[in-house]
Amino acid sequence: MIDAGAVERNCRVLKERVGEGAELCAVVKANGYGHGAAVSAAAALRGGASRLAVAAASEAEELRLHFPETPILVMGALTEDELRTALVARADVALWRDGYRQLCSQLAAELGRRARVHLKLDSGMGRLGERDPSRLTELARACAADDRLEIAGVWTHFATADEEDDAFMGAQLADFAPVAEAVREIGPGCTVHAANSAATLREPRSHFDLVRCGVAIYGMDPFQQDPARLELEPALELRSYVADLKPRAAGESAGYGRRFVARDDTVLGVLPIGYGDGVRRALSDNADVLVAGRRRPLVGTISMDNLTVDLGARPEVGPGTPAVLIGVDGGDRLTAEEMARRVGTINYEITCGLTPRVPRVYHRDGEPA
């Protein structure tokens, strides 16, 4: 279940954090981090976001059908065909090489429109972007001299914003700020942006004209701790149910590889959910599930379609009882952060990994969304 109202409220929290001086851009790539891109985008816009960002041209193309006037930025690298798709969708695109500038100009001329470009500095992430500040300003001058291009923004991406005691983010800020000012002089009115969710919450100096928030708008902690401490509300609940009860006598096993062998007489609950739905196999014998408001250990090997939980010798539940893998039940809660810690990953990967087989049921504060 996805609570669109939670996304809306999280955006209000973030917008209050940055104030009126900076716009909020909602990052809805990867199907809204597994939450659903279009519904999440609509909720974010209601909550104060004014722009959207994605990684791929196809994502921009799909969003444009729902949001005909909202500015959309494609942040990723694009092939020629993908660039054409992005420009047809009237999306802004990232730019950091002169050859790609020429391609943008060529396609813009073919389409009879200006291409809006965001010049990217690699200030230390070591991925996409121009590493040499002087070359980026040269590229900005070439864009400014081309009437088929518009310098819409200048940006960078932090490598360690989610490591609160790390100093590298400050070094990146120091490298980026003068380049941003130089590009703004060349392209007056362009938007300067650098902050992801972690930087938005950690460092006001990173806010510039716009912040790009992804994980936080869905109510997850970019620092992998507890969303509640940041006044964020998880929007996603992952629910299943007890499909069957399986009594196991001491010495009897369950699941592939007989990874679980009962030490005492007990009853297992079989849940029809598994790694085919995105529940990581590494959670085998390594997670809790809320059943009737109580934590029950996940036992045995998670298979593609099923997993088992130990309900104890005298369970007071039966087939059809709800089971919660992420969410709240009976005063207890299981978070994506907890699940991520158990398998040595991050909350982003947990929600992005939920497959299309998992139905997304949307509501807004209890009402259908």
Per-residue pLDDT reduced to its tens digit, 50-98: 999 999 999 999 999 999 999 999 999 999 999 999 999 999 999 999 9
State pLDDT tens for residues 226-240. Answer: 999 999 999 999 999
Round to whole Å and give the CA distance between 283 and 155: 38
Contact 181, 219 (CB under 8 A): no
pLDDT digits (tens, 9 = 90+) for 194-209: 999 999 999 999 999 9
Which is more confidently placed, 267 or 366? 267
- Contact between 83 and 149 under an 8 Å Cβ cutoff? The reply is no
Please name the CATH architecture into which domain 238-368 falls.
Answer: Beta Barrel (2.40)
Residue 179 near residue 155, CB atoms below 8 Å: no
CB 4 within 8 A of CB 363: yes
| Helices 80-88 and 98-111, axial angle in degrees (round to 10) | 50
Topology of domain 2-218 in CATH is TIM Barrel (3.20.20)
Give the pLDDT of residue 369.
73
User: Residues, the chain, total?
Assistant: 369
Token couple for 171: 């070094």
Q: Which residues contact 356 (CB under 8 A, 6 or more apart)?
A: none
Q: How far apart are CA 105 and CA 84, in angstroms?
A: 11
Residue 366 has pLDDT above 80, yes or no: no
Report H helices in 47-132. Answer: 57-66, 80-88, 98-111
User: Annotated catalytic sites, by residue?
Assistant: 29, 256
Residue 210 in contact with residue 191, Cβ under 8 Å?
yes
Does the pLDDT of residue 365 top 90, yes or no? no
State the pTM of this model: 0.95
Is 145 a residue whose pLDDT tops 80? yes
Cα gap 296→309, rounded to integer Å: 6
204 CB burial (10 A radius; 0-12, 13-18, 19+): middle
Segments of the chain assigned to CATH 2.40.37.10? 238-368
Q: Does residue 25 register a pLDDT over 90? A: yes
How does residue 120 score in pLDDT terms, banded at 50, 70 and 90? very high
